[in-house]
Structures are given as structure tokens and as C-alpha cells.
């Protein structure tokens, strides 16, 4: 066993003495030792209950003959960090989480790991560490939050963000906004729509490193605790067979995950996280693969923020496994790849029951013939840009608009909420990329303000930053190269015409090349916004959003 490195033989008597100082018995030390990576804290609603999930996991490990040893990671709540300097640290925290799990599981050589994340950067950070370490690992999340209710209307966190815009526009009273605030988030769990956290939890299941049900079983359900106990038992099978992430997960596994991404209409942040996870597995995922998968994978589920359904509805309809079974009817899922269940995807899907076709549409009646995400290219985004096309109003799929240029998210958000943005405008927010931000802030405040003020069918927003999974509308992010790296978005001037053509995957600045060259000759890099601490180091090391914003 790997843990023998810290517990076996007479020379490890001092090590065993330290374990015994914590109350571990000789019998416990003779068993496989399983690291329980728990991101519980008291600042993230999706994590507030993970202490109980961890207890269930540990019960499962003990039932199957192992010894669980728990340790923690950091975590950022993107909603609470939104629209102030804290958001700069959100994406950057992904690397710290991966590094900390690597450190803990190398300094203390566990036989296997159970990962317990639940929110945006914590999930991919832990998965990156799993492939980097390559020891038997399984992930079990805390599950999604239930939708809130205002009267008979289901609501969620995005309803509150959009409510701020509606309040500013005079269509929502202060009392109604407070009622939204009170009701939108009814309890623990990752926020209720197909936002980034739930997207990544669903994709962990589709990838094969989490058990069926991981993405959709509600946080408050007893089934979630049974799943956690099962994960604790299942890690012992993986340890016994020495089945490691790189043994189970292949390029075909990632293609399955991307197919599910397209069918569900997941967050654009998956285009950052999935390539970063694959990078740790030694697999290169080009952005063009997302367009290729989108072209052949229909959009089957209309989930918040782009549609009416919540994660609890998807769960009742059969969850991720039912989506995969529907996709498999069209040959869109690789059935021969292995998963942490011990079976292939095909064997797992044999056990899947019939679904509710009001929530998961059949292949011959999708919401859209193409998948939820598109990668756009053009002279404004030579290395690509990302849009959740399933959440764009039909009127905005092809549009030429005038540029309204802002050097930060805060400037843009203030202009939108102050009524300075008009129909036909394209809001350009730059110097918010991985380097320029630094940290590639999420832009939920300005996008929600656009929707809340009734401009969703008239105004587009483009940025070298990124968007919340809760963003809807013609919001195009990850423009690469970013402005701080000399990308063309840094050359846009007020009033320039910008052509958005999502069906044809184009994003063009209607300025002739000679004019662009003249602007480029005058362009000067900006001074770094942050010069000290972790973010300054991050800015020096981080790569383009087109490469998943991994560190080099």
C-alpha cells in the first residue's frame, strides 16, 4: 500500500506514534488510509453542509474496511466575491486548491482520495489534483440547492442579481427586491441553476470520476448522503484494484463530458476548466473540439439561466445518466469507457430508467440542433472567444453594434445601471483577462444588469474576462489574446462597429487593417493592477483563457 511509506516497519515507529497521538489504533493503521478532501467552510452556501457529507463518506470508508483521514482546502463563494476585488481571486484559487491537495497527498501518502467539493473553482481544482497525483480517487459533491419561491414563481440567485437591474430601471420596488433576497436561496447547496458549480458537478459524473447522481441529487436529500456513503465504499474497490484516474479516464471520457456539456447548456466556464483538467491528465483539448462537439450534439435541456428548469427538475427526469442515454441513441456517447462505478458507461446506462421528455427532450425534438456553447473567431478574437449560445435571444445571434469601451467591469456596470447604455450598443470590457485582471473576474453584475433593465434583446457584451454560469444574453467572453497581452480587443475605440455572428462562429471588428496597425503601433501595455502577493505571481505565470488559464 502507498500509505506503507508513512506507517510500516520499525523505522516508521515515530510516524505511528504521531498517528496514535491523534487517537488512531494499530488496527486502523493496518488498513488502507483514505484522504478525505473536504472543502467545508462557513462562507459558501454550497459548502456549509459538507461536514455532514464528509461524515457519510467516512462511514462508507469504514464499512468497507478503510481508515478515513480528513483534511481541508480553501474555497471562494463567487456570488459573495462578485463585483469587488475579491472576484480577482476566484479563478486564481483553482490553482491553489490543486496545489494544496497535491501537497497534502504527497506529504502524507494516502492510498486513495475522496474529493468533496461543491462550488465553482473547488471542483476543477480538486480534479486537476486527482490527475496530477494519479492515485485511486472518487469525487462526491454536496449537491445542488433547491429553487426558492416568491409566491408561485421559482427563483434563484440570478433572480436577485437581475432584480437589482429591474430595481434600477424602476420595474421592481425595494420591497419586492428584499423579498427576492429573502427567498431566492432557501438553503444549502450549489446555486440552483446550470451555473458553473452544477455544470462541473454534472461533468464530473459524465467524465466518469463521480458516481451516477452526483450532478443532480439535491443537497438536502437523503439520497445525497447515501451517495456519499457509497462513494466511501467505492473508493475501497478502486484502491483494491489500483484503478487510478489516468487508467479510467481517456480522451473519449472527455468527449463524453463535452457532449453532456452541450446537451445541458452548461456554463461557459467549462471551456476554462475542462481543458485545464485534461492538461493535468496529459491530454490536449483544443477549443475547436468544443465547436466540433457542439455541431453534432443537440441542446436537450433548457435549464436556468437560459430556460425554466432547475437542477431538481433535471434530477427528477433522470439526471445526467438519462441525458447520456438519450445522447447514446444517436451514437454521441462512447459506451466503452470505464468509470469509478467499476463498469463501463454502457453498463451504467443499462440501469437508467425512462425520462421526463418535458425536461430532457428526445434527440429528434431538441431545443436547438447545436449544443449550448460556441467558440467564435475573427480579427477581434484570433485565438477564440466563448458564448453560451443556448442562452442568447434569437434577435442577438447576428448583430452589428457600436462599441462602448470600458477598462474595467466596475466602470461598465456603473454605466449600465446609470442608464448610459442604449439599444444597439456592444459593451466592451477589457483588461479583465487572466493577466490583465488579474484573475479573469466573472461579469455577472453587468450581464444581469443588462437583463434586469430589459436590454437583453438589444445589447451585447464582450470581454477578455469571463462570465458567471448564471449569465444569459449575448455575452461573449474569454476573448483571446487578452488586452494585457496585446490582443486586438485592446485596440477597439468608442463607436467602432463590431459584428457578432454566432451561427457562423464569427466575431469581427469592422476596422481596416491599416487603421488597426496604426493603433497597434501606439498601444502601450498598462501597469499591473496588483504588484504584490499571490495575484502578482499568478499574473506573471498564467496562460491565455484559450488554454484554460493554466499556470506555466
Grid coordinates belonging to 187: 438553503
Rounded-to-integer distance, Cα 61 and Cα 64, Å: 5
Task: State whether residue 230 is helix, strand or coil.
Answer: helix
Contacts of residue 536, defined as CB under 8 A and 6 or more positions apart, other chains included, come to 438, 528, 530
Rounded-to-integer distance, Cα 41 and Cα 54, Å: 12
Q: What local confidence, expressed as pLDDT, does residue 16 receive? A: 98
Rounded-to-integer distance, Cα 168 and Cα 149, Å: 22
3-state helix, strand, coil in the chain (%, to 5): 45, 15, 40
Q: What local confidence, expressed as pLDDT, does residue 281 receive? A: 97
Q: How far separated are the first and last CA of the chain, in Å rounded? A: 33
Residues of the chain with CATH 3.50.30.80: 374-547
Tens digit of each residue's pLDDT (9 = 90 or more) over 96-154? 999 999 999 999 999 999 999 999 999 999 999 999 999 999 999 999 999 999 999 99
Q: What local confidence, expressed as pLDDT, does residue 470 receive? A: 85
Provide the whole-model pTM.
0.96
Q: What local confidence, expressed as pLDDT, does residue 83 receive? A: 84
Q: What local confidence, expressed as pLDDT, does residue 332 receive? A: 98
Q: Flag whether 501 is marked binding.
A: no
Cβ atoms 138, 210 nearer than 8 A: yes
Which parts of the chain have pLDDT scores under 70?
Answer: none
**Of 248, 253, 196, 205, the residue nearest 76 (C-alpha):** 196
Give the distance, in angstroms, between the CA of residue 213 and the centroid of all CA atoms in the same chain: 17
Q: What local confidence, expressed as pLDDT, does residue 354 receive? A: 77
**Of 263, 305, 310, the residue nearest 468 (C-alpha):** 305
- The DSSP bridge partners found for residue 405 are 428
Q: Flag whether 442 is marked binding.
A: yes
Q: Which CATH superfamily is domain 374-547 in?
A: IlvD/EDD C-terminal domain-like (3.50.30.80)
Q: What local confidence, expressed as pLDDT, does residue 417 receive? A: 92
Cβ atoms 448, 471 nearer than 8 A: yes
Cβ atoms 90, 80 nearer than 8 A: no
Rounded-to-integer distance, Cα 293 and Cα 251, Å: 13
Q: What local confidence, expressed as pLDDT, does residue 340 receive? A: 98
CATH topology of domain 31-145+187-350: Rossmann fold (3.40.50)
Q: DSSP string of 100-148?
A: HHHHHHHHS--SEEEEE--STTHHHHHHHHHHHH-SSEEE----BPPPE
The total of other beta-carbon atoms located within 10 Å of residue 212's CB is: 23
For the chain, give the longest Cα–Cα distance: 76
Q: What local confidence, expressed as pLDDT, does residue 469 receive? A: 87
Q: Flag whether 78 is marked binding.
A: yes
Active-site residues: which are they? 468
Rounded-to-integer distance, Cα 130 and Cα 243, Å: 12
- The DSSP bridge partners found for residue 461 are 427, 475
Rounded-to-integer distance, Cα 60 and Cα 234, Å: 8
Cβ atoms 289, 258 nearer than 8 A: yes
Q: What local confidence, expressed as pLDDT, does residue 245 receive? A: 98
Contacts of residue 284, defined as CB under 8 A and 6 or more positions apart, other chains included, come to 275, 278
Cβ atoms 201, 131 nearer than 8 A: no
The total of other beta-carbon atoms located within 10 Å of residue 108's CB is: 15
Residues of the chain with CATH 3.40.50.2300: 31-145+187-350
Task: State whether residue 488 is helix, strand or coil.
Answer: helix
Say if strands 398-406 and 497-501 run parallel, antiparallel, or are unpaired: antiparallel
Amino acid at each position: 500500500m502507498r500509505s506503507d511509506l508513512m506507517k510500516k516497519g520499525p523505522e516508521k515507529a515515530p510516524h505511528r506514534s504521531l498517528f496514535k497521538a491523534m487517537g488512531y489504533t494499530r488496527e486502523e493503521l493496518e488498513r488502507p488510509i483514505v484522504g478525505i478532501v473536504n472543502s467545508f467552510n462557513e462562507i459558501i452556501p454550497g459548502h456549509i453542509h459538507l461536514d455532514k457529507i464528509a461524515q457519510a463518506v467516512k462511514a462508507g470508508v469504514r464499512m468497507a474496511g478503510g481508515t478515513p483521514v480528513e483534511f481541508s482546502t480553501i474555497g471562494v463563494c463567487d456570488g459573495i466575491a462578485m463585483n469587488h476585488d475579491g472576484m480577482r481571486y476566484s479563478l486564481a484559487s483553482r490553482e491553489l486548491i490543486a496545489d494544496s491537495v497535491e501537497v497534502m497527498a504527497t506529504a502524507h501518502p494516502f492510498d486513495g482520495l475522496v474529493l468533496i467539493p461543491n462550488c465553482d473553482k473547488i471542483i476543477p481544482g480538486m480534479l486537476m489534483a486527482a490527475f496530477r497525483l494519479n492515485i485511486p480517487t472518487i469525487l462526491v459533491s454536496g449537491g445542488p440547492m433547491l429553487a426558492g419561491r416568491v409566491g408561485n414563481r421559482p427563483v434563484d440567485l440570478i433572480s436577485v442579481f437581475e432584480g437589482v437591474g429591474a430595481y434600477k430601471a424602476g420595474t421592481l420596488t425595494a420591497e419586492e427586491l428584499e423579498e427576492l433576497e429573502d427567498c431566492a436561496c432557501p438553503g444549502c447547496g450549489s446555486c440552483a441553476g446550470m451555473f458553473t458549480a452544477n455544470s462541473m458537478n454534472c461533468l464530473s459524473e459524465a467524465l466518469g470520476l463521480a458516481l451516477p447522481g452526483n450532478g443532480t441529487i439535491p443537497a438536502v436529500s437523503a439520497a445525497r448522503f447515501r451517495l456519499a456513503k457509497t462513494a466511501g465504499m467505492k473508493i475501497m474497490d478502486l484502491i483494491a484494484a489500483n484503478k487510478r484516474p489516468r487508467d479510467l479516464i481517456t480522451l473519449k471520457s472527455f468527449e463524453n463530458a463535452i457532449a453532456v456539456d452541450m446537451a445541458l447548456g452548461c456554463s461557459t466556464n467549462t471551456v476554462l476548466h475542462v481543458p485545464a483538467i485534461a492538461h493535468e491528465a496529459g491530454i490536449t483539448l483544443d477549443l475547436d473540439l468544443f465547436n466540433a462537439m457542439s455541431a453534432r450534439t443537440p441542446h436537450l435541456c433548457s435549464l436556468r439561466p437560459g430556460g425554466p428548469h432547475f437542477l431538481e427538475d433535471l434530477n427528477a427526469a433522470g439526471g445526467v445518466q438519462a441525458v447520456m442515454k438519450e445522447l447514446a441513441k444517436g451514437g454521441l456517447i462512447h459506451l466503452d469507457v470505464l468509470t469509478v462505478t467499476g463498469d463501463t458507461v454502457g453498463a451504467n446506462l443499462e440501469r437508467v430508467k425512462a425520462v421526463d421528455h418535458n425536461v430532457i427532450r428526445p434527440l429528434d425534438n431538441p431545443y436547438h440542433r447545436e449544443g449550448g456553447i460556441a467558440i467564435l473567431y475573427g480579427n477581434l478574437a484570433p485565438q477564440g472567444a466563448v458564448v453560451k449560445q443556448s442562452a442568447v435571444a434569437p434577435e442577438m445571434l447576428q448583430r452589428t453594434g457600436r462599441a462602448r469601451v470600458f477598462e474595467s467591469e466596475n466602470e461598465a456596470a456603473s454605466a449600465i445601471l446609470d442608464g448610459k447604455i442604449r439599444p444597439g450598443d456592444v459593451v466592451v470590457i477589457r483588461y479583465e483577462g487572466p493577466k490583465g485582471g488579474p484573475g479573469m473576474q466573472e461579469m455577472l453584475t453587468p450581464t444581469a444588469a443588462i437583463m434586469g433593465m430589459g436590454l437583453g434583446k438589444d445589447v451585447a457584451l464582450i470581454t477578455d474576462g469571463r462570465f458567471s454560469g448564471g449569465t444569459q444574453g449575448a455575452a461573449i467572453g474569454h476573448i483571446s489574446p487578452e488586452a494585457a497581452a496585446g490582443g486586438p480587443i485592446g485596440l477597439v475605440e468608442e463607436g467602432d462597429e463590431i459584428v457578432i455572428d454566432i451561427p457562423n462562429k464569427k466575431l469581427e471588428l469592422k476596422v481596416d487593417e491599416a487603421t488597426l496597425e496604426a493603433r497597434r503601433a501606439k498601444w502601450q501595455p498598462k501597469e499591473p493592477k496588483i504588484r504584490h502577493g499571490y495575484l502578482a505571481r499568478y499574473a506573471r505565470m498564467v496562460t491565455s483563457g484559450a488554454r484554460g488559464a493554466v499556470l506555466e
